[in-house]
Chains A and B, each alone.
Chain A
């Protein structure tokens, strides 16, 4: 099956839905795949565990919800605790390493990124989600670097493109530095051995 399921979670206000939107847009518009995004949120506008689901496929997405995601992106402890169990046993875990302290399953590829700290280094903690997005794009390679970057540029508020693209690059570069080339496999192997 060509279908890839993704869940992104965090607390409200972290930009969870925008992250899902940009990935979906990159897949559906830039890369010409089928991508269905569904958001779920509590009645509270801020703070509660917020989550978005994406189903990406080369063929039409019929069933819109996801069952066991192939990729799980956790930006908060509460979100991680709520959804960690549904991740496929061999699914990829991506997490904010200063906020989420995962219990890793054997053989599970996992990738941590200090996205909040990297965003703060850019001067705006609010772009944490875009740093994470750059990192996710680099880990998964589900679309090309240019496609995802194009979706970021087209989706953020006018006037904030430069900051957001810098955030995207920071996330992507962090992956290249920490896990790039052989390092990625090494990290996966190391984590699976933990």
Chain B
């Protein structure tokens, strides 16, 4: 369906990534936000709290991030699209209830405007070191979706996509911005509401007596019933059967968790998203995401001036990882060079997929800034020697 015009600020704006993300959420139909202040993400909820009262949205500032995430899961069960926004320390606190959202199959979006870590780290300065936490941060086996924008325009566009993916797969979608994009101001064009496609909550058409909240009916994603519509369903963070009743058995665990993972893995071809450029005949491919993808292109230009054939992969959806394409590329290039603002996280995925058929080159940056493009160029030159 088309977006509700009440949430769409159509026009050309000069916005930072945080504000653009907030606008994306409102355009996507988000009408509930629970959050706790944390630099450098707070501007998102400041934007939301200023605009929500004019469009039927409710923002509540909770006592901490544990509460914020729990409230978002609760609100989503009313069918109201919900999200929360945080940065590293708060992201750590949200992990338990992100797991609850996975287990209860609750659509929601969690924005992490990444700063330098560990611990309090660099509150006002950039980082990309929560990428593996996004994948593995909550306990147990699960799959979810994570995205990474490279500009304020993408912070707007991809936030809408994040909400849509959350609805399609009934899964939390983690929106992995970085402080640089969050605090960077650029032109952001917001289209008219009738040009924005949004995915509404898919409500069950079953009658209350016939409804089972986790009966997938051969689909991977079960139908949804809202609290307050008379279905009187039960849902739990415990391992559960199709009725949503706890069942403590290895068989039930396997059936449930396998489906939770399969609904993402089995649809990976549809979910995976990346940009690819000049990889045919390339000696080296540079894989990056977020702000680093922009900086990397300067480094790539320097290497191309020196005669190296360099291809580009920019991850837009980070999790699930584009395994298939990286496996193919590993057979055709000498090396995949991975600059990222951490000491080597997504490069581990590249290394896993390459499985020794090409070199995987980590170009680390500890955070607090972005790479010097010449360092990326040097890494490319080193890889073709």
A-side residues, CB < 8 A to B, are 21, 24-25, 28-29, 34-41, 43, 61-65
Contact = CB atoms under 8 A, between A and B. Distances in A.
Interface string B187-223: 1000000000000000000000000000000000000
A20 to B, nearest CB: 8
Judged by DSSP, the binding face of A is: mixed
Given A62-B294, A62-B297, A38 B186 contact: no
Nearest to A32: B187
Contacts of A39: 183, 185
Contacts of A40: 124
B14 A63 contact: no
Contacts of A35: 14, 186-187
B295 interface: yes
A64 B369 CA distance: 10
A63 B298 contact: yes
Contact of B187 (A21, A28, A43): A28
A62 B376 CA distance: 14
Contacts of B184: 36-38, 64
23 contacts: A21-B14, A21-B185, A24-B14, A24-B185, A28-B186, A28-B187, A35-B187, A36-B185, A37-B185, A38-B180, A39-B183, A40-B124, A43-B123, A61-B186, A62-B294, A62-B295, A62-B297, A62-B298, A63-B295, A63-B298, A64-B291, A64-B295, A65-B370
Interface string B318-339: 0000000000000000000000
Contacts of B295: 62-64
Contacts of B180: 38, 64
A36 B185 CA distance: 6
B183 A38 contact: yes
A45 to B, nearest CB: 12
Contacts of B13: 29
A29 B298 contact: no
B303 to A, nearest CB: 14
B124 A29 contact: no
Interface in B358-382: 369-370, 373
Given A24-B14, A37-B185, A61-B186, 5 more contacts: A28-B187, A37-B14, A40-B124, A62-B295, A63-B370
A77 B249 CA distance: 70
B54 interface: no
A106 to B, nearest CB: 30
